[in-house]
Amino acid sequence: MSSSGVYAQSSLAQINSFIATSEVVAQDVAYALGLLGSQPDSVFEFASFTRTAARYRLPVGKRATVALNSNDCVVDVPADDVFSPLRTWTRRETLAWTQAVAQVEAEIGTKVGAITGRKKNRATGRQHRRVRKLAKEFLINPALLPDFPGYDPKLTFFTWLRGNIEPTEAGVYSSLLGATTSNSLRHMTSSMTLVHGLPRFLKRCLDGDFTIEHVDCVTRACRDLHFEHLPEFDDYLARRRADITIETFKRSVALKIAVFNRPRTL
């Protein structure tokens, strides 16, 4: 394997490490906030960070009516890849599919048939198309899931994490990651920023457009970027050319962040 291939694999492995860490951190914060109620071992399902930010841009009374957007289905899976048979589903996809199957079975009064072999069963095919359609609706239904845990437009992931993770919990992550507490907190902050705050940029990284070097640059730059600005920054990164030098990329990111952090004049 060429050196570039080895680097690409190493880069992808580190990005996947961020994804794995972010899932654990989000659940730990939900537990710390008391969102798991009397079932601490359950999984807290919540609306994506992007959808939650969109809700908060509306008046309080209208947040539940934020427009559906098929591009905001799940935190780490693009709309054209949901329910893909080629990978493991996210917890939210599994939840949506389970709900859809239950509704279809209630409608038809029997179990949804399995698609097996080459011989097609039209009734079973219709059932599965109905399940898939419902499951997609459940994924993008803004009323289905509560807000991203602990969301506040004026927080950053740096302050959000340190406000919701106890020092003893940070020590546990330190042991698991084999790093100092400060480096573990940095890894956790970067994980949440990339996976939850910048899902479109994450998709481009997984597709190979950007590497771990770009990820490190972006997550460091976002250290003091408020939640309310992350969706717009993600949109910018989703359109950013990939065929530029890392130095040019760093300068452009720094300039964009400076625009967000510029003091507003009255």
- DSSP letter (8 states) at residue 61: G
**CA dihedral of 127, 133, 135, 137, whole degrees rounded to 10:** -150
What are the residue ranges spanned by the domains of the chain?
3-66+147-261, 69-141
pLDDT of amino acid 71:
43
pLDDT of amino acid 36:
79
Residues 24-50: tens digit of each pLDDT: 999 999 999 988 776 767 778 888 899
pLDDT of amino acid 74:
44
End-to-end Cα separation, the chain, in angstroms: 58
d(CA 157, CA 151): 10
SS3 content of the chain, % helix, strand, coil (to 5): 65, 0, 35
The DSSP-derived string for 211-236 is -HHHHHHHHHHGGG--GGGHHHHHHH
What CA–CA distances, in Å, run from 69 to 78, 100, 197?
12, 19, 17
pLDDT of amino acid 148:
94
pLDDT beneath 70: ranges in the chain = 1-4, 38, 40, 60-80, 115-120, 141-144, 264-266
Residue 121 backbone dihedrals phi, psi, to 5 degrees: -115, 115
pLDDT of amino acid 90:
74
Q: How many CA atoms lie within 13 A of 9 on its CB side?
A: 6
